[in-house]
Structure 1
Amino acid sequence: MKQSMSKKRINKVGSLDEGFSRISDGCSLMFGGFGGVGNPPTIINGILQKGIKDLTLIGNDAGFPTIGIGQVVSQGRAKKMIVSHIGSNPVAGQLMIDGKMEVEFCPQGTLAERIRAGGVGLGGILTDIGIDSMIEEGKQKIKINDQNYLVETALTADVSIVYAKKADTFGNLVYETSARNNNPLVAMAGRYTIVEAEQIVETGALDPEAIITPGVYVDIVVQSEGIDWKWAWE
């Protein structure tokens, strides 16, 4: 006689406090988004409210002074940033000039590939971007087929924070238009990945063809408290 076997579905939905148990002073924090759009607002507000500091922030940019990750930077909570640019946040520039925050600049495409490499377990990438410029300072060079390349190390972080339009209870993710920027790569490269989702549905409710990030990369999903995107057009 056959015995029926029930499969217990994994539920990764949790509270913001559970997620914050992994974010502490001095940790490295990788964030998705571009210019604030796609940054997880509820998680960032929590970082500000809890007074978490001395962070190493890894992401595309420094946001704007009062928008997205830029708020963390503007309040002096970051000791270092690894970014493609900080030009949209003059406070970040001043902190760098004053020696209060270290900034490691990385070309945008190279930065994305370094994060992707970290997410898939590679040690780094080879690129000719930055050859014979200040970018190559202190970096190893390799010649392949008479072409010089820089060795750019892979990037990972203690915690990745991600913003998604929809998540199911297993952590499969769907993003909305440009808010997808960098979030799929960031989700892969964190040793612990926290997802803030606008909408959380049961596993199986998402169209499999629409899922961008598989839930295997996600550790916890928290409900977003909402955000008004009107600022982007003002």
Structure 2
Amino acid sequence: MDKVLTAEQALAGIGDGATLAVGGFGLCGIPSTLIAALHRAGVSDLRVVSNNCGVDDWGLGILLADRRISRVTGSYVGENKEFARQYLSGELEVELCPQGTLAERLRAGGCGIPAFFTPAGVGTQIADGGLPWRYHLDGTVAVASPAKEVREFGGVAHVLEEAIVTDYALVAAARGDRHGNLVFDKTAQNFNPLCAMAGRVTIAEVQELVEPGEFDPAQIHLPGIFVQHVVHGPDVEKRIEKTTVTDTAPKATR
């Protein structure tokens, strides 16, 4: 089955209020072509699950800046000032969870596992509840996280975490074929496979589009069974989130 569509065709079913799992980590491996097309489509009230929410002018940050996102489930938000402003002013609902827990919640959703126990978060507000999800304009808490079930296994306390399944998933791959089989480049194989598994309808943008049969089956990172639509996006701008410069100048000697 040829799953290749334009970005506009692939995203046509996403309406206001949809839930989205979006791959990538920081600015690495993000589906920027799909995010830009979704921004042009004008949908709003999006409920996003992603490791983070981009930066102020790139990635999911462009949707956030135009108030298109109403809720975020993620594990890291430190590089987006607008994100912090909207959250603290009560404009945005935010559910934070440990990064490994977020990854496993997505994987469990894709595998049909409704929930699982993990020791991560025991003894904190992750398990006990009370984390501010949304604030009132006056700074008081409008919505707080609920307490979760805690149970002992082998004498160690574990907290129950529910799996995540979303209406759609947007992911990015270095290479893909027309059947939706995907290959990711190095660390871009971070949250992308997990988000693809968690989406009921998964849309993958690929930099290089190949014909079915060109991949060695052993080299495929994500099989096409998890992907419903493929978008060819060869001209992807790759940004660096933080530039670290090392001083290589010779040291003065006495």
CA distance in 1, matches of 2:123, 2:41: 44
Structure 1 residue aligned with 2:88 = 97
Structure 2 residue aligned with 1:135 = 126
- Tell me the CA shift for residue 144 of structure 1: 2.2
Given that 1:37 and 1:68 are in contact with CA atoms closer than 8 Å, whether structure 2 keeps it comes out as no
Structure 2 residue aligned with 1:7 = none
**Partner SS, residue 21 of structure 2:** strand
- Tell me the CA shift for residue 71 of structure 1: 1.6
Query: CA offsets, 1:189-223, max 9 Å, x none?
Result: 10000000111111001122221000011001011
- Tell me the CA shift for residue 231 of structure 1: 3.7
Q: Does 1:42 align with 2:33?
A: yes
Given that 2:33 and 2:205 are in contact with CA atoms closer than 8 Å, whether structure 1 keeps it comes out as yes
Query: In the TM superposition, what are the counterparts of 1:27-176 in structure 2 within 5 Å?
Result: 27-136=18-127, 137=129, 138-176=147-185
- Tell me the CA shift for residue 232 of structure 1: 4.3
With structure 2 as the length reference, what TM-score do the two structures score? 0.85
CA distance in 2, matches of 1:80, 1:55: 7
Given the superposition, is the C-alpha separation of residues 143 and 231 from structure 1 closer, same or farther in structure 2, using an over 3 Å criterion? closer
Percent of aligned pairs with the same amino acid: 36
CA distance in 2, matches of 1:39, 1:68: 7
Letter in 2 for 1:164: A
CA RMSD after TM alignment:
1.3
Given that 2:31 and 2:171 are in contact with CA atoms closer than 8 Å, whether structure 1 keeps it comes out as yes
CA distance in 2, matches of 1:91, 1:167: 34
**Partner SS, residue 56 of structure 1:** strand
Question: Segments of 4+ in structure 1 off by > 6 A?
Answer: none
- Tell me the CA shift for residue 103 of structure 1: 0.3
Structure 1 residue aligned with 2:8 = 17
CA distance in 2, matches of 1:167, 1:143: 43
CA distance in 2, matches of 1:38, 1:22: 23
CA distance in 2, matches of 1:11, 1:230: 31
Q: Which runs of 5+ in 1 are unaligned?
A: 1-9
Aligned residues: 225
Structure 1 residue aligned with 2:246 = none
Given that 1:116 and 1:189 are in contact with CA atoms closer than 8 Å, whether structure 2 keeps it comes out as yes
CA distance in 2, matches of 1:153, 1:14: 33
- Tell me the CA shift for residue 83 of structure 1: 0.2
CA distance in 1, matches of 2:223, 2:37: 25
Given that 2:4 and 2:231 are in contact with CA atoms closer than 8 Å, whether structure 1 keeps it comes out as yes
Given that 1:42 and 1:225 are in contact with CA atoms closer than 8 Å, whether structure 2 keeps it comes out as no
CA distance in 1, matches of 2:161, 2:44: 27
CA distance in 2, matches of 1:19, 1:230: 25
Q: 1:222 aligns with which of 231, 235, 249?
A: 231
Given that 2:208 and 2:234 are in contact with CA atoms closer than 8 Å, whether structure 1 keeps it comes out as no
- Tell me the CA shift for residue 179 of structure 1: 1.6
Given the superposition, is the C-alpha separation of residues 228 and 18 from structure 1 closer, same or farther in structure 2, using an over 3 Å criterion? closer
